[in-house]
Amino acid sequence: MELSRPSRLGRRAFSALAGTTVLGLALGGSTALSASGAPGPAPAGPPPGPPGADGARHRVALDRRSLLVDGRPLALWSGELHPFRLPSPSLWRDVLQKMRAYGHNAVGIRLAWNQHSPAPGAYDFTGVRDLDLFLRTAAECGLYVVLHPGPYIGADVDAGGLPGWLTTVGGRAGSTDPAYRRHAEEWLGRVNAVAARHLFTRGTGTVLLYRADAPGRADLDLLRTRMRADGIDVPLLHGDTPLARPEPGQVRDAAEARRVHFDRLARGNPLHDVGMAFGGTSWGWLSAPSAPSPTYDPTAAIDEARRPTDRLAPLHQLGQLLRHVPDFTRMTEAAAVRATDARVRVGHLADPDTGAHAYVLSNDSAADVTTTLAMGGADVEVTVPARDAKLFATGLRLGSGRKLAYATVQPMLAMSVGRLDIAAFVGRAGEMAHLVLDCPDEPWPTRLDEEAAWAFDRGQLHVTVPLQEDRLTRVRVRSGDTDRTLLLIVADDAASLRLWPYETPSGRVLVRGPELLREAALDGATIRLTGDTVAERELEVWAPHGITDVTWNGEAVQSGLGRALSLMAVWPLPGVPDLALPALDGWRRRTENFESRPDYGDEGWTVADRRTTHGTTPVPDGRPVLFADDYGFHYGDVWYRARLTGATGLERVSLSYRTGADGLLMAWLDGVPLGSHQPGGAGDGKGTWAGTADFGLPADLRAGEGDDASVLSVLVRRTQHGQDAYREARGLTSAAFEGASPEVRWRIMGAAAPDPVRGPLNNGGLYGERHGWHLPGYDDGEWERVSPAALPGGDRRQGVTWYRTTFRLDVPPEVDASVGLRLDGTPGGGTGAHRVQVFLNGWNLGAYGGGRTGAPHTFVLPNGILRTRAAANTLALAVLSGGGAPSGPGSVRLEPLGGAAGGVPVKPVPSPGRRRG
């Protein structure tokens, strides 16, 4: 297909066109073995290529120094992606491809037991819970998998991932109690049945390691026993493993990312973990009290909208370094080295086989530090910015007959492409890069970009490049001692993020220009590239000999041979067009709170009359258990109704309750609001907030003689469980009365049966949820019409008010658009009891608590759940408001969060609705 000519020609494009698994006792956990089974150094050789389900047997081993795959050392560069925090299986591929492109060779995944199991013995691995699909996709994306199935996973998930129903069975989690072990082993058996089909050791997948964050030895023994029984023969990582990975912390910016991860590199550990590579969304009732916001880990390098952040550049550079500079695979801690300025700490690594050295310089002070470091036989002056770090290397092989003496910038990759050796170095814009190469014979450098300068002196080639913002500089080096050409590339952080190495079965390639390279395939004389662009971008490709043609996302690209021995596109790749989003109008509104009316029929509600509990919260003497979990209501809001007999003279009601973060209580007596209450303080440190709401009764509510029967209605939000105290009570704990001693009969109602598609964490116990008001297709034709201008306010009333609307998007099929829903809060809306639960096509995307903090929030609407291709979407908002807060959701609008020309095909996520009529 012939491409149309764009309006301008890129300047650079124009000028350029002139078997058996060796476990190393990782399952046993005490002794480290080499691949041969005996202690010894890791063998030399290139690292293993990208993994896949290749049908061949593989050996995996851990010793105290190395992770060995088929006897070759592998530096693992892993990032976490929790499948349950991205409820659109099509987008798993998108993020996994981005992780691979940004240098990761492994993905760590945690599995939330509570997402898969709505009841004892019931398990669901379909739809957004399809573990088999995720593991297949990871293998297709060329990523190893580090699998963490729990039973306890932490991860700021409700109860640390334990299912809600576990609060009502005997046995404490993590103990040897048979009541717990039976359920935990059943869960692990279900997971292992899937994982066993995807083991790298069998060649049927890429599951490389099994991970445990076991809170106790009992859980660890359970895991080990279950693994062996289920045929899981990959190593088990845990706290006693010689190469156990420390849990990484969050990083605020690129400088901190460098300090944290360079420091770990300096320790010589081959297992590297960046923590959350993609944070995602704690949708529904997934989040633990420790992280109640729907946005999980806003410091992740790839943000919730699947966009790169400013923390990504150092991770991208380090990942490519570990993958494409073989010397770094086998480096270990070496003799201590000091800089001349003591404010700079130096970590020293060395490869005893090749003589290569690396130096990590960390500056924890508040000022830039210029110091001198002995590298490559010279005293080299370097500057380390305040609270930042730098990585330097000496002795690296840069291809045939050439070695790096030293450099004042960081190596990023060294690779051979056809007859060309390519070495890339990176630094910060504004710095002067100085590279020194040992050359036996005088070379013939050629400056391909005007920024570079060079000089040859006493067997060394000196190259200097002033680093400019988003600029890449190339220098070609030839010499008479070899027929191979060396290409030096020097880039700043921004330019490095558009430099993409890729390994194909027919050889390596390097691509420069687009915002993302997803895949590269060699097909005869053609290299077929797929990826994303945001702005118009040049395309430069280094490919094996014989490749003469290029396609981009299936379209032929006109190209020619450039001076850097690359294929250069004649015209820039197109960027993404602007996305127009519709205004949200056509709103309809309806109030609920039917449960507060004295004549409401609660005959089908559960009688709350138990006297004992499996929970850890004491039951008040002589009073019934009111804890929501004991009656099977584990997630979302809970309603209580108490019939009071003998209430004559009642003057005051005190309601004690326990919740997770952002808890809330509302009460009515005979349909009249008594008020709302929120627990204060910072909680108990384990995720529980306790409060007591004390309501005095107005005179007209106090029952007189002959009128001593009343109905007390109470709504409590919410029932999220702490990670480390999952048996703590949620909901009401007790009630006390002054002025009368009525006889009290309690009933309780929470979420209906779990949504069979969206899972047990989707729904709570609001009337609208129980009756499908949040679902597409619900007939809201008789609801009150309201204009968008009426949404910020609304009358100040206590209770729950629902708002619904529909909207259509028509995003072009070649565009990957990320869309958000912005809630700005209510102007002058006061503080306190105001919560907005957001449902898109029936999927609960989390709660907005702007009335408490006043801060706006943007909910990311994941494609797949969000219909973007000429389709309708249903938006439902459930607003909980105290008497002093507006009953409206505040300002609500769609917001573009970015887009790219490219992306992956997205299948609609099943979102069953309610039929009209």
Structure letter (DSSP) for residue 100: H
Please determine, for residue 96, whether its predicted confidence score (pLDDT) is greater than 70. yes
According to the model, what pLDDT value does residue 16 have? 36
Q: Would you say residue 436 has pLDDT above 90?
A: yes
Q: What is the mean pLDDT of residues 483-506?
A: 96
Distances (CA, A) of 203 to 52, 100, 197, 804, 866: 8, 20, 9, 50, 36
Beta-carbon-side half-sphere exposure of residue 241 (alpha carbons within 13 Å)? 30
Buried b (16+ CB within 10 A) or exposed e, 296-330: bbebbbbbbbbbbeebbbbbbbbbbbbbbbbbbbb
pLDDT at 827 over 60: no
What pLDDT was estimated at residue 14?
30
Between strands 388-394 and 689-696, the pairing is: unpaired
Q: What is residue 546's three-state secondary structure?
A: coil
C-alpha span between 613 and 579 (Å, rounded) = 54
Position 828 scores a pLDDT of: 56
CA distance linking residue 776 with residue 459, whole number of Å: 74
Considering only CA atoms, which of 410, 380, 414 is closest in space to residue 392? 410
Residue 256 three-state SS: helix
Inter-helix orientation angle 217-229/178-195, to 10°: 40
In the chain, DSSP finds a helix count (H) and a strand count (E) of 11, 51
The pLDDT score that the predictor gives to residue 22 is 34
338 confidence band (pLDDT: 50, 70, 90): very high
Structure confidence at residue 244 (pLDDT): 60
Residue that the structure tokens 């970590």 belong to = 347
The pLDDT assigned to 249 comes to 73
CB 70 within 8 A of CB 58: yes
Is the pLDDT assigned to residue 36 strictly greater than 50? no
pTM: 0.93
Q: Decide: helix, strand or coil at residue 378.
A: strand
Residues 6 or more apart whose Cβ sits within 8 Å of residue 538:
10, 12, 13, 512, 513, 568, 569, 572, 573
Please report which confidence band the pLDDT of residue 45 belongs to, taking 50, 70 and 90 as the band edges: low
CA 114 to chain centre: 18
User: What is the per-residue pLDDT across 781-811, written as a single tens digit (0 to 9) for each?
Assistant: 999 999 998 888 778 889 999 999 999 999 9
pLDDT of residue 34: 32
| pLDDT classification of 314: cutoffs 50, 70, 90 | very high
pLDDT at 27: 39
Which amino acid does the sequence have at 776? P
Rounded to whole angstroms, how far apart are CA atoms 892 and 824?
Answer: 7
Give the type of residue at 63: D
Q: How large is the average pLDDT for residues 6-10?
A: 35
pLDDT at 343: 97
Check residue 89 and report its DSSP letter. H
Beta bridge partners of 561: 567
pLDDT grade for 24, boundaries at 50, 70 and 90: very low
pLDDT score of 440: 80
Q: Band of the pLDDT at 40, cuts 50, 70, 90? A: very low
Give tens-digit pLDDT for 47-76. 888 999 999 999 999 877 789 999 998 999
Lowest mean pLDDT across 525-529, 605-609, 746-750, 811-815 = 811-815
| Residue of higher predicted confidence among 239 and 810 | 810
Q: Do 86 and 99 meet the contact criterion of CB atoms below 8 Å apart?
A: no
**Cα distance between residue 497 and residue 507, in whole Å:** 22
Cβ contact 118:129 at 8 Å: no
| Contact status, residue 316 vs residue 323, Cβ threshold 8 Å | no
- Mean pLDDT over 568-585 rounds to 95
State mean pLDDT over 357-364. 96
At residue 655, the pLDDT reads 98
- Which comes out higher in pLDDT, residue 884 or 473? 473
Return mean pLDDT, the chain: 90
pLDDT-wise least confident of 379-383, 555-559, 847-851: 847-851
Residues 388-425 pLDDT 10s? 999 999 999 998 778 999 999 999 999 999 989 999 99
Q: Is the pLDDT of residue 218 over 60?
A: yes
Are the C-beta atoms of residues 650 and 740 closer than 8 Å to each other?
A: yes
pLDDT of residue 854: 66
Instruction: In whole angstroms, give the CA distance from residue 860 to residue 201.
Output: 38
Closest CA to 311 of 324, 293, 298: 298
**Amino acid letter, 868:** T
Convert the pLDDT of each residue in 98-125 to its tens digit: 999 999 999 999 999 999 999 999 999 9
Q: Which residues contact 580 (CB under 8 A, 6 or more apart)?
A: none
Percent of the chain clearing pLDDT 90 (strictly above): 77
Give the pair of three-digit tokens for residue 12. Answer: 């650079």
In the numeric block, which tokens belong to residue 615? 């929970």
Backbone torsion region of residue 149, taken as left when φ is above 0, otherwise alpha when ψ lies between -120 and 50, otherwise beta: alpha
Instruction: Give 243-272 pLDDT, tens digit per residue.
Output: 665 566 788 899 999 999 999 888 888 888
Burial 348-370 (b: 16+ CB within 10 A, else e): bbbbeebebbbbbbbbeeeeebe
Q: What is the pLDDT of residue 832?
A: 63
Q: What DSSP assignment string belongs to 552-618?
A: ETTEEE-EEE-TTSSEEESSPBP-PPP--------EEEEE--GGGSTT---TTSEE------SSSSP
Strands 378-384 and 799-810: unpaired
